[in-house]
Structure 1
């Protein structure tokens, strides 16, 4: 087995809005974060601000946790929704949380916004969070590490629960026409978990999840992996790079759109880094082994 290399990302778990974007909309905050129609307005304004080839939803990493019962501070016109108060302290409480109902609440509004934007011809990136990022909304990380160390069987059950929810979310996203899914779990990165636990997470969760995603992913959909996830897969010999030649030079964000249908997974750079340029025109796909 190789060695996991960390990716130093300045966008870790980033949330929030540019005030110059929100001021253009005349929307009321935080209500604008809760409804599909205002979400579409924000997403299009943000796309224009960033000169991006796609719209992005949601504007935070809290929708899955909230949909499982998490307590949320909805923020304002400068900072988006974020975790408020933890609702769990034990593995049993995490496992007892309800399945997500994708037909109601803010997560339903996100899917409606995605569907509307796709019907208007927009490329849409849906941000899907990994288990540690979701748990950040629900339980103090200290309790998570305690469960991982003292009760690995319970941790397996928790991972199984979150894997099912992520797969269901991606299935619902594809029904809504989403063609780009961003998956990341910065709260479970190497810099937080350390090498040994990171390897265990790849074996227990990340690799099985992505293999399952690969099976349900349509040819019109691509998964954009956080580089932290990419390097964890490469470092545990679960994946390899595959070069795809594009026209050079090309910005990474544009290449991500153009490579849809040619790859299932890519993830050499953070998708939030809109100015990153592939000077040689080579985008690296990720082939799972």
Structure 2
């Protein structure tokens, strides 16, 4: 497997505009915070892209806000953004709160999913990885310092966040989500040394994904190709290509068909954010996570 075979095209242009919301009958500021407006906007995005997936939410701050980050609507980019980190240093993080699925924007996202399920939609939920969530609670500089100076502390914090993400995955499944889009670009394998990725970043991702698998019954989990390529290269998973002969299929259509046929839980090496784009490489890739990590890797962890 070569990384150049699975290039990242970057995030698509932000789909939520005031014109789109106006056409959908949604209030622009409310598409980030109220279920009914989320649903209207999500369905309009799906219609415009001729997609088979309807996608929630429209920002990456949902989990971090529920864990205590201060978030407000950024006037320049028009999306919710962290206004102030909750913590200054890793040492300041003693105990993180549990995610509360009964209130706030987190509850509204889940309620939007339930509304869409009742309408028979295929729902994809974006879920951020532990390092990306942590990067909205504390500066990235502190995270990268922690990778080299406090790996044990960083592992403890990310494990705690991972358990909350697994609970979120479980709630998402219960509210009708059939596909989770998982990404953790803060610690992409290209940003850290192979040793650090092997011993810390990739390992934590493996642990979180196994937690999510155990907490759910059937929801599929799609890894961003930046995450999945580095993940396989480091030996945390293998992949099998499921080929398609139909040239007119989009990536989303092929993925939906493959998920239904195989009941596979993990997928990757593609961009589900561009699910409306033509299928590339003639197929989709099902991932098989390692069942366990070797004893020698356990000994590699610092404290």
The reply to whether TM is greater than 0.5 is yes
- Equivalent residue for 2:191? 192
Deviation at 1:77, TM superposition (A): 11
- Equivalent residue for 1:66? 65
Which 10-residue stretch deviates more, 179-188 or 80-89? 80-89
1:132-211 matches, within 5 Å, as 132-211=131-210
**Alignment of 1:266 onto 2:264:** no
CA distance in 2, matches of 1:147, 1:271: 31
Give SS of 1:260's match. helix
Deviation at 1:15, TM superposition (A): 5.3
CA distance in 2, matches of 1:234, 1:5: 14
- Report which structure shows greater RCO (CA 8 Å, sep ≥6): 1
- Equivalent residue for 1:36? 35
Deviation at 1:26, TM superposition (A): 4.2
Deviation at 1:31, TM superposition (A): 2.8
Tell me if structure 1 keeps the 8 A contact 2:31–2:37.
yes
Deviation at 1:245, TM superposition (A): 3.4
CA distance in 1, matches of 2:239, 2:182: 17
- Equivalent residue for 1:119? 118
Deviation at 1:141, TM superposition (A): 0.6
- Equivalent residue for 1:99? 98
CA distance in 2, matches of 1:190, 1:203: 8
| CA deviation profile, 1:91-138 (whole Å, cap 9, x unmatched) | 243343311111111011000000110111000000000112112221
Tell me if structure 2 keeps the 8 A contact 1:125–1:180.
yes
After superposition, the CA RMSD in angstroms is: 2.5
- Equivalent residue for 2:87? 88
Give SS of 1:192's match. coil
Which 10-residue stretch deviates more, 124-133 or 232-241? 232-241
Which 10-residue stretch deviates more, 197-206 or 36-45? 197-206
CA distance in 1, matches of 2:75, 2:109: 18
Q: How many residues align?
A: 287
Tell me if structure 1 keeps the 8 A contact 2:127–2:181.
yes
Give SS of 1:128's match. strand
CA distance in 1, matches of 2:181, 2:82: 20
Which 10-residue stretch deviates more, 168-177 or 93-102? 93-102
Which 10-residue stretch deviates more, 146-155 or 56-65? 146-155
Distance 1:193 1:52, change over 3 A: same
Give SS of 1:277's match. coil
CA distance in 2, matches of 1:148, 1:202: 8
Deviation at 1:228, TM superposition (A): 1.4
Tell me if structure 2 keeps the 8 A contact 1:112–1:176.
yes
CA distance in 1, matches of 2:89, 2:212: 28
Q: TM-score, normalised by structure 2?
A: 0.86
CA distance in 1, matches of 2:53, 2:76: 22
Give SS of 2:288's match. strand
- Equivalent residue for 1:225? 223
Distance 1:73 1:56, change over 3 A: same
| CA deviation profile, 1:197-245 (whole Å, cap 9, x unmatched) | 22233453111222233333323x2111101121122111121111223
Give SS of 1:64's match. helix
CA distance in 2, matches of 1:168, 1:268: 25
Tell me if structure 2 keeps the 8 A contact 1:133–1:187.
yes
CA distance in 1, matches of 2:13, 2:200: 22
Tell me if structure 2 keeps the 8 A contact 1:21–1:49.
no
